[in-house]
Amino acid sequence: MAQSDRMILAAVFISGTCSLLVEIAGARVLAPYLGTSIYSWAAVIGFVLAALSIGYYSGGVMADRQGNGKQLSIVLLAAGLMTMIVPFLGAALLPFTLFMDIIPASLLGAVILVPASYFYGMVSPYAIKLTSKSGAEGKGAGMVFSVSTIGSIAGALGTGFVLIPNMAITHIFISAGAFMLLASLLVSGFRKGALLDVFAFAILASVIALASPAPQLRGTSVFSGDSAYYHVQVLDMDYNGGPARILFLDNAASSGERADGTPAFDYTMTSRLGYEIIPDPKSALVVGSAAGTEVEELKMFYPSVHVTGVEIDPMAVEMGRKYFSLKEDDRTEIVIDDARRFLLRTEGKYDLVLVDTFRGLSMPYHLTTKEYLAALKGRMAPGGVVIANLISAPEGEKAAVFRYLHSTFSSEFENVIALPTKDDMHSTQNIVLIASDRSLEDFSKAHAALIYDGDIPAAPPLTDERNPIELYLLR
């Protein structure tokens, strides 16, 4: 194999790596505005594939007309430049999606990945044209696609397991752009003018690095960074009429605490009413504990309870240790795991369970189903109580999430009551569901004015096989 062919295949490997990086890290650019719903992922994958397919065709046509190393080096350089500006495009375009429903917002947001993906699609046809020998075109094409796919595997694994947990998103895109510059230089043989390319690239990278693509929230920043799951921010700010410290995951408030350690979120105070049902629990479980504010709330309310908190993101727990009141003493256990995996593996039994599971602005669908609640109920002590937070309207066009989840809880628990947190039954709000096989009659009489007593239209329980809840989230 000629030296030039080896350089082209090296560039193809780098291109394959960076093309998958754009797709996976691109979803993280969208997440602070769009969450991580099936819509945002479907839009990202669909638009990337569409751009690649157009790039494949365009690259093939151009390679037939003028297929040479110089043209390929320009395509690689263009792909690198378009990769670097993805965070900049996100900062410019994504704020407009906040005024849209989730489906059109996801489609619009995914557009920021199209320019880079288009140029990545052009690489393989050029490489096949330049490396294939007459009579061995099939072997040449197979070699190019094999090398590109191996690069894509490296890009997928490296981005997910190494880069995102350890680097800022903007820096990831800049690094990918730099590698594409290297690929361009390899193909061109470090042609005359390459130093000018490097200089211009460095200037653009510096400008983008100084830009802040993440949505800005009002408050004093205590911490900002990226975890394997979210863009994480801790802010001191005015919240619900008073100063508070708030943990934001993908721009959604996840944990909140006042200076005296009391919760900042109104719905946690509504949830506290449910504690009356079970006056002396020995063990409690918090599903989606985040920074641990509800863990500490339970410990303050019940002096002898042992609390287990389950949280999928270790950085959220670290924020609780550093910036909130979370104390992991002999009454506390924090488990880093997916909630459903935890329930399937734990041997614990719990008298009281708090459920507060959101991924940014959306709910993990596998934590809303009948099968999930069956696993949860299987880990509860007899007469145990579940107190769950959901976001929906109790009535009207925005009430679908409430109807589906109420039906799903009712399919597993004998008694389910709902406590809205606002007077307007047609407005989206936190709704506290309390579910148990024990009687809730006395509690319902004591708090009749707070309990929702309207008709709830029938809805099928959500299951692992059929779960349309994301059709209604964020609407």
SS3 for 2-28, per residue?
CHHHHHHHHHHHHHHHHHHHHHHHHHH
The predicted-structure confidence for 242-279, as pLDDT tens digits, reads as follows 999 999 988 788 999 998 888 899 888 899 999 999 99
Note whether 452 and 344 are same-domain residues: yes
Asked if the structure places residue 275 within a domain, the reply is: yes
Crossing angle (nearest 10°) for helices 38-66 and 69-84: 160
Same-domain status, 198 and 310 = no
| Amino acid in the structure at residue 71 | Q
Tokens of 225: 């960074």
Written as six digits, the tokens of 103 are 């489906």
Rounded to the nearest 5°, which phi and psi values hold at 348? -70, 155
- Domain endpoint, select from 174, 194, 210: 210
Report how far residue 304's alpha carbon sits from residue 332's, in angstroms, rounded to the nearest whole number.
11
How far is residue 461's CA from residue 475's CA, in Å, rounded to a whole number? 20
In a shared domain, residues 194 and 272: no
3-state secondary structure of 368: coil
Q: Is 437 among the domain residues?
A: yes
Tens of pLDDT, residues 131-149: 988 778 888 899 999 999 9
376 and 456 housed in the same domain: yes
195 in the same domain as 285: no
CATH number (domain holding residue 319): 3.40.50.150
Give the range among 66-70, 170-174, 349-353 with minimum mean pLDDT: 66-70
For residues 413 and 433, the answer to whether their CB atoms sit within 8 Å is no
Least confident of 63-67, 144-148, 193-197, 423-427: 193-197
352: pLDDT confidence band, cut at 50, 70 and 90? very high
252-257 and 283-287: which strand pairing?
A: unpaired
Question: Which pLDDT tens digit goes with each residue over 305-338?
Answer: 999 999 999 999 999 999 999 998 999 999 999 9
Number of domains, the chain: 2
CATH number reported for the structural domain that contains residue 172 in this entry: 1.20.1250
Q: Is the pLDDT of residue 59 over 70?
A: yes
pLDDT band of residue 36 (cuts 50, 70, 90) is confident
Res 306: pLDDT: 97
Q: Which of 191, 210, 229 is the last residue of a domain?
A: 210
Average pLDDT, the chain: 89
- pLDDT reported for residue 250: 81
Does residue 97 contact residue 109 with C-beta atoms inside 8 Å?
Answer: yes
Residue 215 covered by a domain: no
Residue 168 lies in a domain: yes
- CA 472 to each of CA 109, 119, 397: distance values in angstroms, whole numbers, following the listed order: 19, 36, 10
What's the pLDDT tens digit per position in 169-225?
888 998 999 899 889 888 887 665 565 666 666 666 666 665 544 555 678 999 988
Does 385 lie in the same domain as 269?
yes
Question: Are 206 and 276 found together in one domain?
Answer: no
In a domain, 444, yes or no: yes
Q: Which residues are CB-neighbours of 68 under 8 A, at least 6 positions away? A: 130
- Is residue 165 predicted with pLDDT exceeding 70? yes
d(CA 134, CA 146): 19
- 336-348 residue pLDDT tens: 999 999 999 999 9
475 pLDDT more than 60: no
Domain boundary among 210, 226, 242: 210
Distance, in Å, from the CA atom of 220 to the CA atom of 338, rounded to the nearest integer, reads 31
Range of the domain at 431: 265-471
> Do 350 and 446 reside in the same domain of the chain?
yes
Q: Is residue 217 part of a domain?
A: no
Alpha carbons 154 and 236: distance in angstroms, whole number: 39
Q: How many CB atoms lie within 10 A of CB 453?
A: 10
| Run of H or E including 289 | none
Instruction: Tell whether the model's pLDDT for residue 396 goes beyond 50.
Output: yes
Enumerate residues 6+ apart whose C-beta is below 8 A from 221.
233, 234, 235
Regarding pTM above 0.75, the answer is yes
Residue whose token pair is 């479907």: 42
Least trusted range by pLDDT, from 123-132, 163-172, 415-424: 163-172
Return the pLDDT at 209: 61
The residue type found at 150 is I
Do 181 and 307 lie in a common domain? no
What is the layout of strands, in order, in the sheet containing 306-311?
A: 332-336, 306-311, 283-287, 350-355, 380-392, 429-436, 415-420
Confidence (pLDDT) at 169:
86
CB contact set of 260 (below 8 Å; sequence gap of 6+): none
- Asked if the structure places residue 277 within a domain, the reply is yes
Query: What pLDDT was estimated at residue 194?
Result: 60
Same domain, yes or no: 64 and 203: yes
Residue 20 lies in a domain: yes
Give the largest Cα separation in the chain, rounded.
Answer: 86
Nearest to 300 by CA among 319, 277, 275: 275
Query: Are 33 and 170 contained in the same domain?
Result: yes
Question: Looking at the predicted structure, is the pLDDT value of residue 68 above 60?
Answer: yes
**Pure H helices in 67-168:** 69-84, 86-93, 102-109, 114-131, 137-158, 164-166
DSSP H or E stretch at residue 294:
helix 293-301
